[in-house]
Structure 1
Amino acid sequence: MAQAMKIAIVDDEQDMRQSISQWLALSGYDTETFGSAEDALKTLGPEYPGIVISDIKMPGMDGMQFLKKLMGSDSALPVIMITGHGDVPMAVEAMRVGAFDFLEKPFNPDRMSELAKKATNARRLVMDNRALRRELSDGGQLMKKLIGQSPVMERLREDILDLGQADGHVLINGETGTGKTLVAHALHAVGSRAGKKFVLVSCGALEEDMLSKRLFGPMLPEDAQLPAIEEARGGTLVLEDVEALSETLQARLLSVINEQGTPAETRIVAISNLQEAGRTSEDVLRNDLFYRLAALRITVPPLRQRGEDILTLFTRLSEQFSEEYGCDTPQVSAQEAAQLLQAPWPGNVRQLINVAERAVLQSRRGSGTIASLLMSDHEEMQPVMTTEGKPLKEYVEAFERMLINNTMRRHKGSISSVMDELCLPRRTLNEKMAKYGLQRSDYL
């Protein structure tokens, strides 16, 4: 869900504060007012979830001093300055210091609303990016994203924790859409380099000349960033689609690796995403580079091998999309659960995300089935055909666990409500929860 944005209004004139606040409140904004810059600074800081509208002429700390304080605390905080007639030079100086924009009195309220909208959108993007960076530096949060109790996922999490503590380069293999980049983030976040730079370069997205400059330089004077090799020094450099490196760039990369020695100053995590059947990164990379990059290896399992995790993931994704679109989470029937478990999932988790979102949207419209979504992705797939034959008992147990889990979540752990909805006696429900590893405390 998008974070609600606030607007802090700072002006020593009460009437002006109130009129701005009332107008913006009518436009749907959450406002708070301050009679002085000193009072506002007690509330405003780097994590303030909103923007600032401030008069430029105030007793005590004036608007320019206030702006400099705010920019020193958080240069990405949008500040809209209100200036008097004839104060345009001062407004220009405010823009140089870092103001988002300015309004000249008497100003058009619609113009103020327009600026507020632009500024809050910019602030929301900054806050979202910061939250994402925090999440991607938090090993615990990242490991939680690797959902699933299947043996292959248990093994993947163990591999990440083990290799995260090691210092060698890592090669990550896996089909498209399995979450290889997430695994790379997790490797960095759980290891000793967690506080250092994490730099990701998509080798397949750049032409050779651009890729060469991005990796090794020289960068042009107007370029804001260092070459990736320099930028990632001491941290982790992730190379997506490493097989896209030309022979020349492979040689340069090998030279850099050899110069670093052991232990490596910069850890390289290479991600292989080969599409051709029967080909591997070993086939396309020169041998000496391959064996340096593949000192440690992780293979991310395809979704079709994760069994009941498919239903767990689908439920979690459906709940997230339902919250986003403001509608009820679609209920999955036994037949649909079997179809989800039986599908071949060539697009893996990325495909499952798309199916979950479309299932929520079509449920909101009151039409469509999960089977139709799966078949629209792969017309040759029959609704009840499976690529891996499994006993009926496994499908029944997977559906039963999903049903109890969903009902417990919906009723926030109320045993009596779950018993009533599923028509189960207390003892039977307890036995099934124990069998499937479900604990009431997880739903409270």
Structure 2
Amino acid sequence: MAQAMKIAIVDDEQDMRQSISQWLALSGYDTETFASAEEALKALGPEYPGIVISDIRMPGMDGMQFLKKLMGTDSSLPVIMITGHGDVPMAVEAMRVGAFDFLEKPFNPDRMSELAKRATSARRLVLDNRALRRELSDGTQLMNKLIGASPVMERLREDILDLGQADGHVLIDGETGTGKTLVAHALHAVGSRAGKKFVLISCAAYEEEALAKRLFGPMQPEDGQLPAMEEARGGTLVLEDIEALSEMLQARLLSVINEQGMPAETRLVAISNLQEAGRTCEDALRPDLFYRLAALRITVPPLRQRGEDILTLFTRLSEQFAEEYGCETPQVTAQEAAQLLQAPWPGNVRQLINVAERAVLQSRRGSGTIASLLMSDHEEMQPVMTTEGKPLKEYVEAFERMLIDNTMRRHKGSIAAVMEELCLPRRTLNEKMAKYGLQRSDYL
């Protein structure tokens, strides 16, 4: 959900403050007013969720001093300056200092609304990007995204924590759609380089000459960036689709590694997306480069090996999409739960995301089934899509766990409401929750 944007209005004239506030409020903005720059500074921190509109000429701290203070606190905060007649040179100076734009009195209210719209859009983008960067540098947040209680996911999280503390280069492989890039982010976030640069390059996205330039340079001033090897100095350089490197670039990368042209404190993480039958990353790379990159290795498990995690993931994704589309989360029947568990999932988590979104959309329309979605993805499949034979007891227990989990979540941990909906006595519900590792505190 997009963050609500505020507009701070700073002007020593009460009538001006109120008229601007009323006009912007009519345009749908959340406004707050301040009679002085000193008063406003107490409320405007570096993460202020909005923009500032300020007069230039004010007693005490004037608008220019106020602007410089704000830019020192957060240079990305959009500040619109209001100038009187003859103050245009001062407004130009304000733009040089960092103002977003200026309005000359008497100003057109529609022009002010248009500027406010542009400024709040810019501010929202900055705050969203900051939140994303924090998330990608927060090991706890990233590890929480690696959902699942299956043995293979427990092992994956342990491998990430162990290898995150190591210094060797890492090779991440696995089927398409399993989340290899997320694993690379997590490796960086839980290690000693968490606060350093994380640079990701897709080797398949460039022609050979352009990729050589992007990786090794030289870069021209107009390119606006350093070569990736230099840009990632001290941090982590991730090379996606490593198998797309030509023979020449493989040799050059190996030379850089061997000659320590890449600083020793920089970690290289290679991601392989090879899907050709009977061919691996080891086949695609020259042996000496492969063994340097695969000093440490993580293979991300396919979804079909993750058992009940499939239902957990499907539930979480369905809830997210239902909230996004403003509708009820579709309820999964026992038959549909079995179909989700039995499906081969060649597209892995990426395919599951797609199925969950379409399940929510078709539920909103009141038509369609999960089986039809799985069949439409793979028309050659038969209605029963078992990839590995499992006892019926496992399917029943997986569905039972999902049903209790969903009901507890829907009733926010109310044991009485769950007992009533599922027609279970208290003791039986407690026993089943203990059996499936479900804690009431997780739902409160």
Question: Do the aligned partners of 2:229 and 2:262 also contact (CA within 8 Å) in 1?
Answer: no
* Alpha carbons of structure 1 residues 263 and 117: separation in structure 2 relative to 1, 3 Å: closer
1:82 aligned residue: 82
* Alpha carbons of structure 1 residues 384 and 105: separation in structure 2 relative to 1, 3 Å: farther
304-313 vs 51-60, which moves further: 51-60
Which whole-Å CA distance do the structure 1 matches of 2:200 and 2:263 have between them? 21
Which whole-Å CA distance do the structure 2 matches of 1:25 and 1:379 have between them? 54
Tell whether 2:6 aligns with 1:13: no
Alignment of 1:18-417 (within 5 A): 18-260=18-260, 264-417=264-417
3-state SS, counterpart of residue 233 of structure 1: coil
1:267 offset after TM fit, Å?
A: 0.7
* Alpha carbons of structure 1 residues 238 and 414: separation in structure 2 relative to 1, 3 Å: same
Question: Do the aligned partners of 1:173 and 1:299 also contact (CA within 8 Å) in 2?
Answer: yes
* Alpha carbons of structure 1 residues 366 and 56: separation in structure 2 relative to 1, 3 Å: farther
3-state SS, counterpart of residue 279 of structure 2: coil
3-state SS, counterpart of residue 222 of structure 1: helix
Deviations 1:29-84 (A, max 9, x none): 11111111111111112111111111122222222221121112111111112222
1:133 offset after TM fit, Å?
A: 0.9
TM-score w.r.t. the length of structure 1 is 0.97
332-341 vs 290-299, which moves further: 332-341
Question: Do the aligned partners of 1:7 and 1:30 also contact (CA within 8 Å) in 2?
Answer: yes
1:166 offset after TM fit, Å?
A: 1.0
Question: Do the aligned partners of 2:344 and 2:385 also contact (CA within 8 Å) in 1?
Answer: no
1:389 offset after TM fit, Å?
A: 2.3
1:262 offset after TM fit, Å?
A: 11
1:411 offset after TM fit, Å?
A: 0.9
Which whole-Å CA distance do the structure 1 matches of 2:124 and 2:440 have between them? 36
* Alpha carbons of structure 1 residues 29 and 143: separation in structure 2 relative to 1, 3 Å: same
252-261 vs 2-11, which moves further: 252-261
1:108 offset after TM fit, Å?
A: 2.1
1:261 offset after TM fit, Å?
A: 8.6
* Alpha carbons of structure 1 residues 246 and 262: separation in structure 2 relative to 1, 3 Å: closer
* Alpha carbons of structure 1 residues 367 and 111: separation in structure 2 relative to 1, 3 Å: farther
Question: Do the aligned partners of 2:196 and 2:235 also contact (CA within 8 Å) in 1?
Answer: yes
* Alpha carbons of structure 1 residues 118 and 262: separation in structure 2 relative to 1, 3 Å: closer
* Alpha carbons of structure 1 residues 83 and 361: separation in structure 2 relative to 1, 3 Å: farther
3-state SS, counterpart of residue 53 of structure 1: strand
* Alpha carbons of structure 1 residues 378 and 85: separation in structure 2 relative to 1, 3 Å: farther
416-425 vs 19-28, which moves further: 19-28
Which whole-Å CA distance do the structure 2 matches of 1:106 and 1:358 have between them? 52
271-280 vs 61-70, which moves further: 61-70
Which whole-Å CA distance do the structure 2 matches of 1:222 and 1:285 have between them? 33
* Alpha carbons of structure 1 residues 381 and 111: separation in structure 2 relative to 1, 3 Å: farther
Deviations 1:165-217 (A, max 9, x none): 11100000011111101101111111111122111111111122221111111
1:11 offset after TM fit, Å?
A: 1.1
Question: Do the aligned partners of 1:84 and 1:104 also contact (CA within 8 Å) in 2?
Answer: yes
Which whole-Å CA distance do the structure 1 matches of 2:75 and 2:253 have between them? 36
Deviations 1:200-246 (A, max 9, x none): 11111112222111111111022322111111111111111111111
Which whole-Å CA distance do the structure 2 matches of 1:180 and 1:313 have between them? 17
Aligned length: 444
414-423 vs 1-10, which moves further: 1-10
TM-score w.r.t. the length of structure 2 is 0.97
3-state SS, counterpart of residue 269 of structure 2: strand
Query: What's the RMSD between the two structures over aligned residues?
Result: 1.6
Deviations 1:86-143 (A, max 9, x none): 4333222222222222222222222222221221111111111111111111111111
Question: Do the aligned partners of 2:56 and 2:81 also contact (CA within 8 Å) in 1?
Answer: yes
Which whole-Å CA distance do the structure 2 matches of 1:246 and 1:95 have between them? 48
Deviations 1:296-345 (A, max 9, x none): 00000111111110110111111112222222211111121112112221
Which whole-Å CA distance do the structure 2 matches of 1:193 and 1:309 have between them? 30
Question: Do the aligned partners of 1:338 and 1:384 also contact (CA within 8 Å) in 2?
Answer: no
Question: Do the aligned partners of 1:317 and 1:353 also contact (CA within 8 Å) in 2?
Answer: yes
Unaligned runs of 5+ in 1: none
1:439 aligned residue: 439
Which whole-Å CA distance do the structure 2 matches of 1:240 and 1:352 have between them? 22
* Alpha carbons of structure 1 residues 108 and 421: separation in structure 2 relative to 1, 3 Å: same
1:263 offset after TM fit, Å?
A: 9.4
User: Moved runs in structure 1, 4+ residues, more than 6 A?
Assistant: none
Question: Do the aligned partners of 1:168 and 1:263 also contact (CA within 8 Å) in 2?
Answer: no
* Alpha carbons of structure 1 residues 388 and 225: separation in structure 2 relative to 1, 3 Å: same
Which whole-Å CA distance do the structure 2 matches of 1:104 and 1:351 have between them? 54
Question: Do the aligned partners of 1:412 and 1:443 also contact (CA within 8 Å) in 2?
Answer: yes
